[in-house]
Amino acid sequence: MNPARIIFAGTPDFALASLRALVDARILPVAVLTQPDRPAGRGRRLAASPVKKFATARQLPVLQPATLKDAGIVARLAGLRPDLIVVAAYGLILPQAVLDVPASGCLNVHASLLPRWRGAAPIQAAILAGDAATGISLMRMEAGLDSGPVYATAGIPIGAEDTAGDLHDRLAVLGGQLLVDKLPDILAGSIEPEDQDESLVTYAGKIRKEDARLDWTRDADSLHRRVRAYNPVPGAWFEFAGERIKCWRATPGSAEGGAPGQVTAAGSCVEVACGSGSLLLTELQRPGRKPVTAAEFATQFPLVGRRFH
C-alpha cells in the first residue's frame, strides 16, 4: 500500500506540535502550507513562522500563499493529489474549492471539545468560563466555522492556576498525539465522524486588547480567570499613575471592603478590592520594563488607599 499523501497547513507553535508528531511518526507531508513571512521584533524584519522553520530544516516543500482563493494555488494543491489536508492553526480560511481537493477531505486539529468553543480563541474562552476541562477535537472541515463532524476527542483538566500558555502547550502536544493515533483509521474510513450537537454550541471570538482590561467591579474569581486567560497574550491590564500596568499572576482573596479597584494592602502581594472579594496581585509589569514581583512593584509607588482603573 502506498503511503498517504498529506498536505499540512499550519503556522504558529500550536501547529508545529502536530507537524512534528507527523514527522516523528514518519508521515512526511508532500507539502506544508504556512502563512507568509511577517515583520517581527523591534527591527520589524520578516520572520518565518515556526512551522516554516521546522519544515525547511526537514527539507519539506513549503508553500506560502497570501490567500487560498486564487485558482492557481487551488490547481497547484490539486496537482499534489493529496489524500488529506491536515489543518492546525493555519490562519487562512479554506474555501470550498480547497476543501474539495483531497480525496478524504480536510481535517482540523481544534483546541476545544467541540461543539463547545468554536472559533478563534477556545483556550482563553474555556478559562474565562471556568470550565473544568478542555481538550482536542479532530474535525472534518466544512464551510461553516468549526461546524464539521468530529472524528475523535481527547480531554485534559484545567487546573486552578493554569494560564492560557500552560494549556496551549499541553493541548499542542495532545493534538499531535491524537492526530497520529487516529490518522490511519481516518484515512482507512474506519472511523465515522459524528455530527456536533448544535444545541450545545458556544463561540470564542477573536481577542481584543480591551477584552483584557481588568474591571474591578467584577468578582475576584472572574478577575483571576481573566489574568490566567490572557497570559501570555495580550496580558491582563489596568491603568494606574498614567501607565498601563500588566498583571501576569494573581490569586483570589476573600477580603471585603474598599471601593472596587482600591488597594487595601501592599507587601508580598498587592491586594485590590473587587466587586466581591479581593484580588491578590503577585506579578506586575510597567510599560517598557520587565515583570516584577508585587513586593518590588510596591516599592515604586505609595499604593495603599489609591485606586487602579
What's the confidence (pLDDT) of residue 2?
65
DSSP 185: H
Rounded to whole angstroms, the Cα distance separating 107 from 136 reads: 12
Q: Which residue is associated with the grid cell 456536533?
A: 196
- pLDDT for 51-80, tens place per residue? 999 999 999 999 999 999 999 999 999 999
Closest CA to 18 of 225, 172, 144: 172
**Contact indicator for 304, 264 with CB cutoff of 8 Å:** yes
Rounded to whole angstroms, the Cα distance separating 67 from 25 reads: 30
With respect to CATH, is domain 6-204 assigned 3.40.640.10? no
Rounded to whole angstroms, the Cα distance separating 77 from 61 reads: 12
What's the confidence (pLDDT) of residue 266?
94
Tally of CB atoms within 10 A around 241: 11
Rounded to whole angstroms, the Cα distance separating 192 from 278 reads: 49
3-state secondary structure of 248: strand
Question: Sign of torsion, CA 185 17 91 124?
Answer: positive
Global pTM value: 0.95
What's the confidence (pLDDT) of residue 144?
87
- pLDDT for 80-104, tens place per residue? 999 999 999 999 999 999 999 999 9
3-state secondary structure of 224: helix
What's the confidence (pLDDT) of residue 39?
86
Q: How far is CA 6 from the centre of its chain?
A: 24
What's the confidence (pLDDT) of residue 97?
96
Rounded to whole angstroms, the Cα distance separating 129 from 149 reads: 24
**Contact indicator for 167, 126 with CB cutoff of 8 Å:** yes
Same fold, 6-204 and 210-298: no
Q: Which residues of the chain have pLDDT under 50?
A: none
Class in CATH terms, 210-298 = alpha beta
Domain boundaries, the chain: 6-204, 210-298
